[in-house]
Amino acid sequence: MNCFYASVEMLHHPEFAGMPLAVGGDPEARHGIVLTANYIAKKKGVKTGMALWQAKQVCPEIIFVPPRMDLYLRFSQMAREIYSEYTDKIEPYGIDEAWLDVSDSGNLKGSGMTIAREISHRIKYELGVTVSIGISWNKIYAKLGSDYKKPDAITEFNRENYKDRIWQLPASDLLYVGRQTNKKLQKLGIRTIGQLAESDEKLLESHFGKIGNVLWAFANGWDEDPVCKEGYEAPVKSIGNSTTTPRDLENDLDVWIIQIALAESVAARLRKHGFKCKTVEITVRDNGLYSFSRQIHLRQPTNITNEIVTAAFQLFKDNYKWEHPIRSLGIRAADLVLDDIPVQLDLFGNQEKKEKLEKLDRTVDEIRRRFGYFSIQRAAMYQDKVLSHLDAGTHTVHPHSYFHG
């Protein structure tokens, strides 16, 4: 789906029609980057990942709106319901992309091109956003086709035309050829996908390891990874939230207050979408620009705020020595599982207490849903007026990697 977050926001803000718009953080606060921008803003130089102040420099008239992940997930689910009318082999790649295997749908639904045109038409007129679709015999070339021409386009790469159309493209267009990998390829004289495909596989392996073999196969279209059936995997790999703090953090209490706010938002999102996490990860950046990430695997999957923040705070205590004040914190819940999977009871745990904490969290969720984020807060938040005004209601949802696990 093209400029997905921005496209959905434009639907809900008709007053911004014809104006440059970006979805990002709070431009009045100290933090925030562009998550996505509409094509009007992109033509003026606004790019995903830019700091809001940078976007404002290249496009002074830009309008910023805060992200609303609930809304985007709802549109993602509606799109997936349309896809499911053509195949049950649907593999999400983030919330705005998916692979569909329609090879068994031909007798009923027509060719790949026919199905692509129908889906394009339906997404546009039923959801109000546009899609770019790639058609091919493998996932890598289909993904490449979806990026080949935007917006609102359909591109087919088949066994007859792929060398003429794909091999002339820059190697950086291929999935998983990032900036650093592309630099290394250029040092080897490899600038196009065709040159990568015709390179010596052993040479690539010697420079890149196993990924060299993978990229060589991808360039040649030798990708046999199947499209997973619908429901096989969650559409997200992890759920996290991070913030540049309203002021620098100077002690453990400051960190505890911010981590509570972040853990509450992450746990609420897990519960809302029916997940529990088996891993908790923290990120820390101080004002000396030192940063690190650490993670811990939990004994049992959880979506309880208290369990997530306890794990996060222990990670912090074990790994930070307070050489500088802290400027940014993040918490991420990873290794997600469905919240209704059977779990072995912990012989040394207190199941009754766990159930009370779950009930408490869901009560808080309902109160905030009805009366707003600040209608109920933990007592710890009142120990610092500045930090307690952080609204950790925005979330980051991380898509599944192509390499599962």
CB 196 within 8 A of CB 163: no
Q: CA 38, 74, 94 angle in degrees (round to 5)?
A: 65
Our CA angle for 360, 364, 366, nearest 5°, is: 115
116: closest CA among 77, 65, 64, 155? 155
The residue written with tokens 């390499």 in the block is 403
Burial (Cβ within 10 Å: 0-12, 13-18, ≥19) of residue 340: exposed
Q: CA-CA distance, 364 to 378, in Å (whole number)?
A: 10
Following DSSP, what letter does each residue of 348-402 receive, concatenated?
A: TS-HHHHHHHHHHHHHHHHHHHHH-GGGS--GGGGG-TTGGG--TT--EEEEPPS
Amino acid (1-letter code) at residue 132: S
Contact (Cβ atoms closer than 8 angstroms) between residue 170 and residue 193: yes
Q: Is 323 among the catalytic positions?
A: no
Q: How far is residue 221's CA from residue 217's CA, in Å, rounded to a whole number?
A: 6
Residue 65 backbone phi and psi in degrees, to 5: -125, 145
Q: Cα dist. 126→71, 86, 91, 111 in Å?
A: 16, 16, 21, 22
Alpha carbons 112 and 107: distance in angstroms, whole number: 11
CA dist 60 and 53 (Å) reads 9
Find the radius of gyration of the CA atoms of the chain.
Answer: 23
Q: 224 in helix, strand or coil?
A: coil
Task: Say which amino acid occupies 121.
Answer: H
Q: What is the C-alpha to C-alpha distance for residues 261 and 246, in angstroms, rounded to an integer?
A: 13
Q: Which of 97, 156, 264, 358 is catalytic?
A: 97
**223 is known to lie in a ligand binding site:** no
Structure tokens belonging to residue 405: 């696990």
Annotated binding site for Mg(2+): 96
Annotated binding site: 96
Instruction: Indicate which residues carry an active-site annotation.
Output: 97
